[in-house]
C-alpha cells in the first residue's frame, strides 16, 4: 500500500535485519534506493526489484533518490555512516545501538541539531502496540508509582565480534526503561560472562537506579536454547506483564496492590490471579516506526526514539561497560558532554571505590577499597591510594605518589612527582602503630612540589605552595610559600600561584589581585 505522505527513504545495509526494513519500506511505498556493500546481495535485490536503484556506497545517494536514510549496517559502522549521511543533508533513522560509544552518539546528535535534521534510533519497542497500552495504564493510574522494572531478553542468537550482548540486546530495554521512568538513572551496574569469545560478553546482568527509588534490572543473553522475552512493570497499585515469547505473546494487567505493614507486605490480587488481558493493535511495530520517522521529516512530529534517547542510552551503555570492568561496581553515567571515568588497563582499582565523572587513573596505579576519588581528578603513573584516603574534585597527581589512611585532599590540589605523605611520626618495623595514624588535610588549591614531604598530622592551608624537596613538619598557613627542611615560610603566593613581592604593595604581577598582611595571615583585599 503506497503512502504518499511518506518521503523517499534509502536503506543502508540489507542484511538480516535490513531485509525486514526493505520489505516494510516497499510495502509503505517509500523505498527510494538501497545501499549494500555485498555484491551478491546487491544482485539478488536488483533482480527482485526491477527499477530500484541498488548502490554500492552512500556517496552515490542524491536528493532525487532519497530525503532520508534508514541505517541497518553493522554496529561498528553506525557512527561513521551516520555522520556522513547527516553531512550530506539526509535525515537518519539509525538502528540500535546508535553508536558504540556515548561520545560518537553525542557527535551525531550535535550534527543533526546543527543541520536541522531528524535523527532517530531504532528502539523498536517504543512503537510496539504494547508500549502504548503500558502508557495508557500509567496515564489511567492503574499502576500507581512505579517501583520496579524487570527485563529478560534471551535466545540462541548470532554471536557477534564487534559488539557484546549488552550493546546488541539491551538498548531496546534500556530505552523503554527511560521512557517508562521519565527520568535518567543516577547509577548503573553490569556483570558479564565471556563464554565464547574473549573480550565479548555474551551474557549480562544489568541494573539501573533512578531517583525516587525506582530500580530496573535486566538479563541479556544470546546463549540460551529457547527464546524468552518479557517485561515486568511493577507499581504500587498494579503490575503489568508483557511477554514476547513464542506461544505467550501479549500484555496482561494484574491489580496487585503493595499494601500491608512494614516487614510484612500483603499482596491483594483483586480476584484476577490470571490477570486482565489487554487488547493490542496488530500493526507491525517497524511500520509504525518508519511512519513516525517519515512524519518527523515532513511534519516535524516528535519521535519517542529520538537522538536524545539514543545518546542517553549510549551513555548508559558506556557506564555499564565500565561497571563490567569493575566487576559490577556501581557507576554514575555521564550525560551531555561530561567525560566518562578513564581507568588504564594496567591500573588496579577496587570495584567498590567511588570515582567521579571525568576522572582518570593512569598506568600501574593501585587504588584500594575504602578510598574515594572526586570528579575530574587525575592520578599519574604508579600512584597508590590506601583505604581511608580521599581525593577531591579536580586534583592532579604526577607520578609516584602514595596517599595513606587519613590523608584528605580537598578540591584542585596539585601534587608533584614523588611527593611523600607519612601516616605515623615514629615508624618502627617491629612496633605496630596503626592506632597512631594521624590525619593530614591539604586544603583546596594548594600545591606540593616534587619530592616534598608532608609529615602526618598537619594541615596545609588553601592556596599554599610547598617548594620542591621541602619537608613540612608543622601546620602551613593559607597562601604561604614554604621551603627548606624543616619547611619555613619564605613568602606569600597569590591564588593563581604567582609569588607576591616581598617589598611594596602585595599585588600579583600576573592577575593583579591585591592582598594585605593582617595578624600574620594574608588577606585578599581586591580581586
Q: Are residues 220 and 357 in the same domain?
A: no
Q: Residues 22, 152: one domain?
A: no
Question: Which three cell numbers mark 266?
Answer: 500483603
pTM of the model: 0.68
pLDDT class for 269, splitting at 50, 70, 90?
Answer: low
Does 217 score more than 90 pLDDT?
yes
With 0-12 CB in 10 A as exposed, 13-18 as middle and 19+ as buried, what is 429? exposed
pLDDT band per the 50, 70, 90 thresholds, residue 404: very high
Is 134 found in the same domain as 94? no
Q: Is the pLDDT of residue 397 over 90?
A: yes
Q: In sequence order, what DSSP letters do the residues of 340-388 get, joined into one string?
A: PPEE-TT-EE-TT--B-TT-EE-TT-EE-TT-EE-TT-EE-TT-EE-TT
CB neighbour class for 198 (10 Å; exposed up to 12, middle 13-18, buried from 19)? exposed
Of 211, 245, 279, the residue that ends a domain is 279
Q: E strand or H helix at 526, and its extent? A: strand 521-526
Tens digits of per-residue pLDDT, 136-173? 999 899 999 899 999 999 998 787 777 899 999 999 99
pLDDT mean across residues, the chain: 91
Q: Is residue 310 part of a domain?
A: no
Region 17-28: what's the mean pLDDT?
95
Examine residue 259 and state whether it is found in any structural domain, yes or no.
yes
| More confident site: 486 or 336 | 486
Cα separation, 282 vs 123, in Å, equals 18
User: Are residues 250 and 159 located together in one domain of the fold?
Assistant: yes
pLDDT for residue 291: 95
Same domain (yes/no): 89, 162: no
**Size (the chain), residues:** 527
Domain that holds residue 251: 126-279
Given 248, 279, 310, which residue is the final one in a domain?
Answer: 279
Query: Could you tell me the pLDDT band of residue 3, with boundaries at 50, 70 and 90?
Result: very low
Q: Which of 138-147, 261-270, 305-314, 362-371 bottoms out in mean pLDDT, i.e. has the lowest?
A: 261-270
Query: Is the CB of residue 29 less than 8 Å from the CB of residue 1?
Result: yes
Residue 230's pLDDT band, with cuts at 50, 70 and 90, is very high
Predicted local distance difference test score (pLDDT) of residue 262: 58
59 DSSP 8-state letter:
G
Give the domain CATH number at 429.
2.160.10.10
Q: pLDDT for 178-210, tens place per residue?
A: 999 988 888 899 999 998 888 899 999 999 998
Q: Which helix (H) or strand (E) holds 107?
A: helix 102-115
State yes or no: pLDDT of 10 exceeds 80: yes
**Total number of domains constituting the chain:** 3
Amino acid at each position: 500500500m503506497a503512502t504518499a505522505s511518506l518521503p523517499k527513504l534509502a536503506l543502508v545495509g540489507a542484511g538480516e535485519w535490513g531485509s525486514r526494513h526493505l520489505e516494510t519500506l516497499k510495502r509503505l511505498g517509500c523505498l527510494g534506493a538501497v545501499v549494500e556493500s555485498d555484491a551478491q546481495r546487491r544482485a539478488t535485490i536488483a533482480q527482485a526489484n526491477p527499477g530500484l536503484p541498488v548502490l554500492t556506497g552512500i556517496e552515490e545517494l542524491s536528493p532525487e533518490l532519497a530525503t532520508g536514510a534508514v541505517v541497518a549496517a553493522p554496529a561498528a559502522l553506525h557512527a561513521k555512516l551516520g555522520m556522513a549521511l547527516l553531512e550530506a543533508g539526509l535525515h537518519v533513522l539509525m538502528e540500535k545501538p546508535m553508536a558504540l560509544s556515548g561520545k560518537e552518539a553525542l557527535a551525531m546528535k550535535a550534527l543533526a541539531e546543527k543541520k536541522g535534521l531528524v535523527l532517530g534510533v531504532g528502539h523498536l519497542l517504543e512503537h510496539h502496540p504494547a508500549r502504548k497500552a503500558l502508557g495508557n495504564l500509567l496515564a489511567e493510574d492503574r499502576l500507581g508509582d512505579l517501583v520496579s522494572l524487570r527485563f529478560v531478553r534471551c535466545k540462541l542468537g548470532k554471536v557477534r565480534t564487534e559488539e557484546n550482548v549488552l550493546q546488541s540486546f539491551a538498548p531496546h530495554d534500556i530505552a523503554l526503561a527511560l521512557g517508562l521512568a521519565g527520568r535518567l538513572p543516577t547509577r548503573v551496574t553490569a556483570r558479564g560472562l565471556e563464554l565464547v569469545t574473549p573480550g565479548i560478553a555474551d551474557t549480562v546482568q544489568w541494573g539501573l537506579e533512578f531517583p525516587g527509588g525506582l530500580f530496573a534490572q535486566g538479563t541479556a543473553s544470546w546463549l540460551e536454547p529457547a527464546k524468552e522475552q518479557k517485561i515486568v512493570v511493577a507499581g504500587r497499585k498494579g503490575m503489568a506483564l508483557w511477554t514476547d515469547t513464542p506461544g505467550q505473546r501479549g500484555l496482561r494487567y494484574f491489580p496487585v496492590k503493595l499494601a500491608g505493614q512494614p516487614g510484612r507486605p500483603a499482596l491483594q490480587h483483586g480476584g484476577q490471579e490470571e490477570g486482565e488481558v489487554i487488547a493490542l493493535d496488530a500493526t507491525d511495530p517497524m511500520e509504525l516506526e518508519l511512519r513516525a520517522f517519515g512524519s518527523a521529516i515532513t511534519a516535524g512530529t516528535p519521535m519517542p526514539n529520538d537522538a536524545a534517547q539514543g545518546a542517553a542510552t549510549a551513555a548508559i551503555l558506556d557506564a555499564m561497560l565500565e561497571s563490567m570492568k569493575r566487576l559490577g561496581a556501581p557507576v554514575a553515567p555521564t550525560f551531555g558532554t561530561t567525560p566518562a571515568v578513564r581507568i588504564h588497563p594496567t591500573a588496579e582499582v577496587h570495584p567498590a571505590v567511588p570515582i567521579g565523572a571525568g576522572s582518570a587513573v593512569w598506568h600501574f596505579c593501585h587504588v584500594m577499597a575504602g578510598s574515594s576519588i572526586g570528579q575530574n581528578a587525575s592520578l599519574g603513573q604508579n600512584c597508590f591510594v590506601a583505604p581511608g584516603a580521599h581525593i577531591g574534585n579536580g586534583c592532579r597527581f604526577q607520578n609516584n605518589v602514595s596517599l595513606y589512611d587519613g590523608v584528605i585532599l580537598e578540591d584542585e590540589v596539585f601534587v608533584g612527582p614523588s611527593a611523600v605523605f607519612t601516616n605515623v611520626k615514629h615508624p618502627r618495623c617491629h612496633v605496630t602503630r596503626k592506632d597512631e595514624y594521624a590525619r593530614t588535610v591539604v586544603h583546596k588549591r594548594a600545591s606540593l612540589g616534587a619530592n616534598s614531604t608532608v609529615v602526618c598530622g598537619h594541615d596545609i592551608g588553601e592556596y599554599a605552595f610547598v617548594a620542591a624537596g621541602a619537608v613540612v613538619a608543622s601546620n602551613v598557613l593559607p597562601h604561604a610559600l614554604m621551603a627548606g627542611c624543616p619547611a619555613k615560610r619564605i613568602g606569600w603566593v597569590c591564588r593563581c600561584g604567582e609569588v607576591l613581592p616581598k617589598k611594596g604593595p602585595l599585588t600579583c604581577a600576573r592577575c593583579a589581585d591585591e592582598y594585605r598582611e593582617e595578624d600574620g595571615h594574608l588577606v585578599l583585599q581586591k580581586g
